[in-house]
Structure 1
Amino acid sequence: MTIPLSILDLSPISAGSDVRQALRNTIDLAQHAQRWGYHRFWLAEHHFVKTASSAPTTLLGLIAAATDSIRLGTAAIQLGHHTSASVVEAFGTIDALYPGRLDLGLGRSGHRGAQLRSAGVPPTPARERRTEVRDGVVIPAPFTPNQRLDTTRAAAAQEALYLPGAEPLPYGRQVEEILALLRGDFTTTEGVDLHAVPGEGADVRVWLFGSSGGESARLAGRLGLPFAANYHVSPGHILETVAGYRESFQPSPEHPHPYLVVSADVVVAEDDATAQRLAASYGHWVYSIRSGAGAAEYLDPATAPPLTDQQQRLVDDRTTTQFVGSPATVAERLRALQQLTGADEILITSVTYDHADRLESHRLLAREWGLAQDVRAA
């Protein structure tokens, strides 16, 4: 049985292009994703980098207006940068006009504590990377945040996103506040009942996202929420992430059983060689993130210089776990990932220099996966 296939988009900005075009590309991709039978279209949240997805809720409303059936959501709202009320009211506003289509994905990457713990820690010394293959799935040695070459810029960016003196709530408490606001039973610490308008009673599904078997995975399990495990971000932790969610799961009225989505980076073309050529600058993009500079403009693979050995070592876990090839090649690897993790749904993200190549990547995979009949070229 074919499981659902969904898309995560980061609104990447290609070298020589701009924010306006990146946003138009995202809306265009969402419209094609709906036509091609993808189940969901989710948006990431990133700040002070060369991607156009810094305001995913705003973009979500624009995409909702440009589509009519595909589920839309965030992957994920960085809760450390938002109050519970602002999140619920924003999603409630969109749901009031486009009801029953929204997935509210929540993540803890914006929380100051996690950022400060990694800032100022010396990089992990270079070491031989050991990779294993389990049932056809590459599981690399885990990458840890303190392997980044420089955390100064990341810490400064985090600081700029907070009001002076403001401190985010503990992640678990904030998730529970959001659920209470949506249900309509939110009460302040002083015992005052507050009701989010719009927001209360909105037909919004709450998801948690995580890259390890820690707090996010176990909180999703304890609350009986669906969970998305980030193989594309942290492939070395995928098995413990999945285990953490399943082991802690407690049935809820909405979800009597665990529901797991697993993500993967994908580039598909008509043949393996073409796909490998299109993906050749992916390592450069990941290196810009891990070097501490933040995601850069996506380079043209035809002109991007080769990575040095040192640069390649820093991104090796991501390049070896990117699913690159013909439709049959990539579909086979995705099915192996699904079988290893027991995923109920696969979430793909695809970045290429040319938007037309990215559209074609998604179209070819939709056809191979058997999502819909209308998989004509864009």
Structure 2
Amino acid sequence: MLHIPVSILDLAPVIVDGTPADSFRNTLDLAQHAEKWGYRRYWLAEHHNMPGIASSATALIISHVAAGTEKIRVGSGGIMLPNHAPLVIAEQFGTLESLYPGRIDLGLGRAPGSDQRTAHALRRGTGSDGHDFPEQLSELRDYFQPTPDSRPGVRAVPGEGLNIPIWLLGSSGFSAQLAASLGLPFAFASHFAPDYLLPALDLYRSGFRPSDALEKPYAMVGLNIIAADTDEEAQKLATSHEQQFLNLIRGRTGKLNPPVDNMDELWTPQEKAIVRGQLSYTIAGSKETVAKRLPAILEETQADEIIVTAQVYDHRARLRSYEILAEVFQGR
């Protein structure tokens, strides 16, 4: 048994020949199973202009999942704050917390979650490139818990006075240092940006200042874990995720492709090295393989919690993957 919580990051994949409506049905089905299997949280991520990811209206999908479950925490992994007015996010998540009290998490990132043209379309102007993220975050937090310096006459209703846990998400040292200075929990996106994981965790833990929100550091680490009944099956299922990253480095976006027998027919050796490097915090294997590899990652990172994504083409296989992982954590 592994004695830390495990959570799910769902990118709401849209598969080839599938639709966003199919994705939303699958998302709710997975969340309901995850609740039964003992997962701590179910987070959804904001991405835009990506045909293979259906969670662009993130708060709406969070509400869809929370309405169809009973106790699992549901939240954002994350909301890209530079895309939004802080007041809008305060009102949206104040609404969610009012509807589903004690179950909502607000994970925040400072990346656009899209290309520059889409970022411009979202913001209707030059907008923010993330450099003013600390100021945006401060404004957002003031709407939840006003201070004497808050904007007079502007209140978040619903939102004001609600205790909604705020997490900072990142893939570099910036958010790690900011989370540390504010005493907030921190989640690192090692599932796609592994290179700076350990230095960022060190920055976070060494610079952490206790706050009303958190007494000591709490770090969540993102992993790709694709499990199946055999190593061979899991490794084949993982080729859908590898194809997705291959398309990204080629500057393409698209729906999630079915698995293939041989990725070497699709990528060059250089592309293979790049994709495998980006996905170095990935485990694809049987229950025994996952159980063998996970403790080393947990020892290396000293994670307080892990959050797992599994970009699997077949929904039944994705369910089975998360069921196997739950069995690993429960020692079954």
TM-score (norm 2): 0.93
Give the match for residue 124 of structure 2.
Answer: 163
Alignment of 1:196-345 (within 5 A): 196-213=156-173, 215-294=174-253, 296-302=254-260, 305-345=265-305
Matches within 5 A, 1:113-132: none
- CA spacing shift, 1:281–1:182, aligned 2, 3 Å: same
Shift of residue 55 of structure 1?
Answer: 1.1
Q: Does 1:43 align with 2:51?
A: no
Of residues 329-338 and 231-240 in structure 1, the stretch that sits farther from structure 2 once superposed is 329-338
What is the CA deviation profile of residues 217-247 of structure 1, one whole-angstrom value per residue up to 9, with x for unaligned ones? 1000000000001110211111111112112
Measured in 2, the distance between the counterparts of 1:31 and 1:186 equals 42
Q: Give SS of 2:123's match.
A: coil
Distance verdict in 2 for CA 1:167–1:232, change over 3 Å = closer
Q: Is the 8 A contact 1:282 1:319 kept in 2?
A: no
SS of aligned partner of 1:75: strand
- Tell me which residue corresponds to 1:2: 3
Q: Distance in 2 between matches of 1:367 and 1:69?
A: 20
Give the deviation of 1:164 after TM superposition.
2.6
Cα contact 1:85–1:196 (8 A) shared by 2 = yes
Q: Residue 186 of structure 1: CA displacement?
A: 6.8
Deviations 1:183-224 (A, max 9, x none): 133745xx62432100012231000001112x2110000000
Q: Aligned AA for 1:242?
A: L
Give me the whole-angstrom Cα distance separating, in 2, the residues matched to 1:166 and 1:347: 30
Q: State the partner residue of 1:25.
A: 26
**Alpha-carbon distance change, 271 to 241 in structure 1, aligned in 2, over 3 angstroms:** same
Query: SS at 1:225's partner residue?
Result: coil
State the alpha-carbon separation in 1 of the partners of residues 214 and 289 from structure 2: 33
1:251 aligns to what SS in structure 2? coil
Q: CA RMSD in A?
A: 2.0
Q: Secondary structure at the match of 1:41?
A: strand
Relative to the length of structure 1, the TM-score reads 0.82
Q: Could you tell me which residue of structure 1 aligns to residue 311 of structure 2? A: 351
1:290, CA displacement in angstroms? Answer: 2.4
The residue that corresponds to 1:76 in the other structure is 78
Give the Cα separation in 2 of the matches to 1:264 and 1:281.
16
Partner of 1:180: 142
1:18 offset after TM fit, Å? 1.2
Matched AA of 1:286: F
1:187–1:194 Cα contact (<8 Å) kept: no
**Mapped partners of 2:9, 2:193: distance in 1:** 15
1:347-375 CA-to-partner distances (Å, cap 9, x unmatched) read: 1000111010000000011012108x9xx
Q: Which runs of 5+ in 1 are unaligned?
A: 112-152, 374-378
Residues 302, 110 of structure 1: CA spacing in aligned structure 2 closer, same or farther, 3 A cutoff?
A: closer
Shift of 1:71: 0.5
Decide whether aligned partners of structure 1 residues 38 and 186 sit closer, same or farther in structure 2, where only a CA change above 3 A counts.
farther
Q: d(CA) in 2 for partners of 1:321 and 1:248?
A: 25
Give, as a single letter, the amino acid of the residue that structure 2 aligns with 1:236.
D
Cα pair 1:154 1:292 within 8 Å, conserved: no
Q: Distance in 2 between matches of 1:84 and 1:320?
A: 34
CA contact (8 A) 1:239 1:341 kept: yes
Q: Secondary structure at the match of 2:229?
A: coil
Cα separation, 2, equivalents of 1:286 and 1:165: 29
The CA deviation string for residues 61-94 of structure 1, in whole angstroms up to 9 with x for no partner, is: 1111101100011011101101110001001111
Deviates most, 10-19 or 305-314: 305-314
Give the distance between the partners of 2:118 and 2:87, measured in 1 at CA. Answer: 23
Aligned residues: 327
Query: Match for residue 105 of structure 1?
Result: 107
Amino acid in structure 2 at the alignment position of 1:323: I
| Contact kept in structure 2, 1:177 and 1:186, CA below 8 Å | no
Q: Measure how far apart 1:165 and its partner are.
A: 4.6
- Residues 261 and 95 of structure 1: is their aligned pair in 2 closer, same or farther, counting only changes over 3 Å? same
